[in-house]
Amino acid sequence: MSAPAPLPPHRPAHAGRPSPYRAVGFWLLPALVVLLLAAAGTGLYMGGLADPTAHLKDFPVAVVNQDAGARVPDRNGSAEVQNLGGQIVDGFVEEAAEGEELDLRVLSWEQARQQLETGQVYAAVVVPETFSADAAGLVAGALTQEDTARPAVTVYTDPKAGALATRLATGAVEPGLARAGAALGEQLTAAARDAEDRARAQVEQQLAADQAEQSRRTQQAADRAGPATAAFARQLAGRKQDTPAQLAEQLAPRVSAASAVLLADPVQVTTTAHQELEEGTALGMGAFYYAILLLVLGLTGSIGVSVLVDGRLGIAPLEIGARFRLEAPTTPSRPVTFLLKWGLFVAAAAPAAGVVMWVAHAAGVPLPHGQVLFLTSWLAMAAVSAAVFALLTVFGSAGMLLAMLYLVLMGLPSAGAVVPLEALPGFFRAIAPAEPLHHVAVAVRSVLYFDARPDAGLRTGAVALAGILVASVLTALVVGVVYDRRSGRRGEGAPPAPVPAPAAAG
Please report the DSSP string for 292-336 in residue order.
HHHHHHHHHHHHHHHHHHHHHTTSS-EEETTEEE-PPP----HHH
Residue 213 has pLDDT above 80, yes or no: no
At 269 the three-state DSSP class reads: strand
The domain in which residue 432 lies consists of 279-487
Q: HEC states along 49-88? A: HCCHHHHCCCEEEEEEECCCCEEEECCCCCEEEECHHHHH
Confidence of residue 326 (pLDDT cuts 50, 70, 90): confident
Lowest mean pLDDT among 150-154, 313-317, 346-350: 313-317
Higher pLDDT, 257 or 112: 112
Structural domain includes residue 492 = no
Higher pLDDT, 291 or 219: 291
Question: Across residues 155-162, what is the average pLDDT?
Answer: 87
Q: What is the pLDDT of residue 149?
A: 78
Which of 248, 273, 298 terminates a domain? The answer is 273
Q: What is the pLDDT of residue 453?
A: 93
Q: What is the pLDDT of residue 129?
A: 93
Residues 245 and 286 in one domain: no
d(C-alpha 139, C-alpha 260), whole Å: 10
Q: What is the pLDDT of residue 224?
A: 59
Structural domain includes residue 25 = no
Structural domain includes residue 11 = no
- Give me the helix-helix angle, 163-225 and 257-264, nearest 10°: 140
Question: Across residues 101-105, what is the average pLDDT?
Answer: 90
Q: What is the pLDDT of residue 323?
A: 85
Structural domain includes residue 37 = no
Most confident of 52-66, 195-209, 217-231, 321-335: 52-66
Confidence of residue 463 (pLDDT cuts 50, 70, 90): very high
CA distances from residue 450 to 160, 377, 421 in whole angstroms, order as listed:
8, 16, 19
Which of 273, 305, 336 terminates a domain? The answer is 273
Q: What is the pLDDT of residue 82?
A: 84
Neighbour-count burial of 321, counting CB atoms closer than 10 A to its CB (0-12 exposed, 13-18 middle, 19+ buried): exposed
pTM of the model: 0.81
Residue 504 has pLDDT above 50, yes or no: no
Question: Across residues 198-208, what is the average pLDDT?
Answer: 58
Torsion from C-alpha of 18, 23, 29, 31, nearest 10 degrees: 120
Q: What is the pLDDT of residue 177?
A: 86
Residues 216 and 284 in one domain: no
Residues 284 and 269 in one domain: no
Neighbour-count burial of 104, counting CB atoms closer than 10 A to its CB (0-12 exposed, 13-18 middle, 19+ buried): buried
Q: What is the pLDDT of residue 55?
A: 86
Residues 122 and 68 in one domain: yes
Residues 117 and 235 in one domain: yes
Question: Across residues 382-409, what is the average pLDDT?
Answer: 95
Structural domain includes residue 294 = yes
Residues 283 and 158 in one domain: no
Q: What is the pLDDT of residue 106?
A: 93
Which of 273, 289, 323 terminates a domain? The answer is 273
Structural domain includes residue 48 = no
The DSSP call for residue 405 is I
Structural domain includes residue 403 = yes
Residue 79 has pLDDT above 90, yes or no: no
Residue 506 has pLDDT above 50, yes or no: no
Compute how many other C-beta atoms are within 10 angstroms of the C-beta atom of residue 485: 9
Question: Across residues 24-45, what is the average pLDDT?
Answer: 87
Q: What is the pLDDT of residue 186?
A: 84
Q: What is the pLDDT of residue 189?
A: 79
Whether residue 340 contacts residue 348, with contact meaning beta carbons closer than 8 Å, is answered with no
Residues 251 and 318 in one domain: no
Higher pLDDT, 43 or 382: 382
Confidence of residue 172 (pLDDT cuts 50, 70, 90): confident
Report CA torsion sign: 472, 403, 24, 307.
negative
Higher pLDDT, 296 or 201: 296
Residues 191 and 128 in one domain: yes
Q: What is the pLDDT of residue 18?
A: 79
Higher pLDDT, 308 or 284: 308
* CA angle at 122 for the pair 116 and 128, rounded to the nearest 5°: 65
Residue 505 has pLDDT above 50, yes or no: no
Q: What is the pLDDT of residue 248?
A: 47
Residues 100 and 148 in one domain: yes
Neighbour-count burial of 453, counting CB atoms closer than 10 A to its CB (0-12 exposed, 13-18 middle, 19+ buried): middle
Structural domain includes residue 45 = no
Query: Mean pLDDT in the chain?
Result: 82
Residues 475 and 342 in one domain: yes
Residues 217 and 312 in one domain: no
Higher pLDDT, 447 or 330: 447
The DSSP call for residue 122 is S
Residues 170 and 119 in one domain: yes
Q: What is the pLDDT of residue 476?
A: 97
Residue 175 has pLDDT above 90, yes or no: no
Whether residue 426 contacts residue 48, with contact meaning beta carbons closer than 8 Å, is answered with no
Nearest to 128 by CA among 64, 194, 39, 188: 64
Number of domains in the chain: 2
